[in-house]
Structures are given as structure tokens and as C-alpha cells.
Amino acid sequence: MFDALAVRYDLLNDILSMGQVRLWRRAVARIAGARAGERVLDLAAGTGTSTLAFAASGANCVACDFSLGMLQVGKAQVSKAGATAGRVSFVGGDALRLPFRDRAFDAVTISFGLRNVAGARDALAEMLRVTRPGGRLVVCEFSTIAVAPLDMLYRRYLTSVLPAVARRAARNPEAYEYLSESIADWPGQRELAGLIRAAGWSAVRWRDLSLGVVAVHVARRPEDRA
């Protein structure tokens, strides 16, 4: 599915989020706080737009995804990003069986990806494996608005406005029907925090963006016991 929508993926994100996605990406990068020289894995990186936000701080980033179509578009796009592009490398790989050694990264991030992985809990455990003790997890995902009337309006946007806009702007609008359905089925903030904890992460907390349209969960890999 993602191979087929790769070319217009970022354009559709801008249209359907009314530009909010750019603000979310900046906020996620601030929360992740990646420092120069750190090794960051951006999993389910797609076209690498999420990865660029982390690389901008000077971190060395690996953009990993199993859609080679998304990675190809990403490689072409990211190469135009000047010096930052030099800090991003692209790797094909499955979130459920990552092609990296244990403890390889200071931080592992996944933006709008965990919802799409078949087996979120197993992916969270794989992310733990490749993070060094004391290293960080950052999950950015669509979530739940706490104010019920606003949530109702948002759900209406997801089920009627979003698919209608996608029918006009996207080459494969059925993918965007999947988007609405997968957001509706995805757990809320507290439930996702529980899933992250159950996979072995500690110090789990989250911050809502745009009233909870998006939530950013952060956690740490526990230090090894002596």
C-alpha cells in the first residue's frame, strides 16, 4: 500500500492535516531532544521526512522502513536537504525483525508508524533490543481528543471529510479509508502507555499535540542491573 502512495505521500499529509503535520514533526524533534553525534533509529520512516526533523539537530539518523517505494522517494527528497542529508542513511528492514545489533542506538523513534505495524507490541520489544540501556523511545501517533464534543467533530472529519478530500487528491483513495479506520481503532494515550510498559520500557509518559489529535509517548530502556 505504501509503495503505491509514496510519490504523493508528503503532499497528502500536508493537505489532510492542513499543515499541522509540520508543527507536529518539529514538536516531536524537540521532545526527542537528539543531540549532535547521537545515533537515532527512525523506524517506519517512510519518505524520511520524519527522520530529517531529528537529523536537523546534528544526530546521525538511520531511516528504516520495509516499503522500498517509500525509501526510494525518500532518498531522492532527502538528498536535497543540504548538510542534514549527510546525516541520514536509508535501510530496508522489518520492524518485527530489525537488521541491527543489540543496543546499537541512543534513541529509537517511530512517527505515524506503530499503528501500521502488524504486531505493535512485538515491534516495541524489537525497538527495546536495539536501544542502549538508558536510551530513549519516542512514539508519535494519532490519538484521542479528551474533550468529547471536539472528539466527535474530529471523528466526523475522519470518516467523511478526509476520505472525500483523498478521493480528489490521492491516486489510491482507498489507502486513506484505511487511514481513518486505523486511527479509529488505535488505542488512546493511557492504553498505549500500558503497551509500551508491557514491552519492557520504563518512565513512560506522553504529551498531547493539537488537543490529543496526536500524542507523543516517550520512555527509557532501563539501565542494566549490576
> What does DSSP say about strands 60-65 and 88-92: parallel, antiparallel, or unpaired?
parallel
- Contact between 67 and ligand SAM by CB under 6 A: the answer reads yes
CB of 198 to ligand SAM, least distance (A): 19
Contact between 129 and 102 under an 8 Å Cβ cutoff? The reply is yes
Find the part of the chain contacting ligand SAM (CB under 6 A) among 88-96, 142-150, 152-160, 190-198. Answer: 88-96
- Contact between 2 and ligand SAM by CB under 6 A: the answer reads yes
Contact between 77 and 52 under an 8 Å Cβ cutoff? The reply is no
Looking at the DSSP assignment, which residues form a beta bridge with residue 110? 43, 139
Cα–Cα dist 42/56, whole Å: 13
Size of the site for ligand SAM (CB under 6 A): 18
Q: Which of 33, 66, 210, 211 touches ligand SAM by CB under 6 A? A: 66
Cα–Cα dist 59/135, whole Å: 14
Nearest to 66 by CA among 110, 131, 10: 110
- Contact between 113 and ligand SAM by CB under 6 A: the answer reads yes
The smaller minimum CB distance to ligand SAM, of residues 49 and 189, is found at 49
Judged by the rule CB under 6 A, the positions of this chain that interact with ligand SAM are: 2, 44-46, 49-50, 65-67, 70, 94-96, 111-113, 116-117
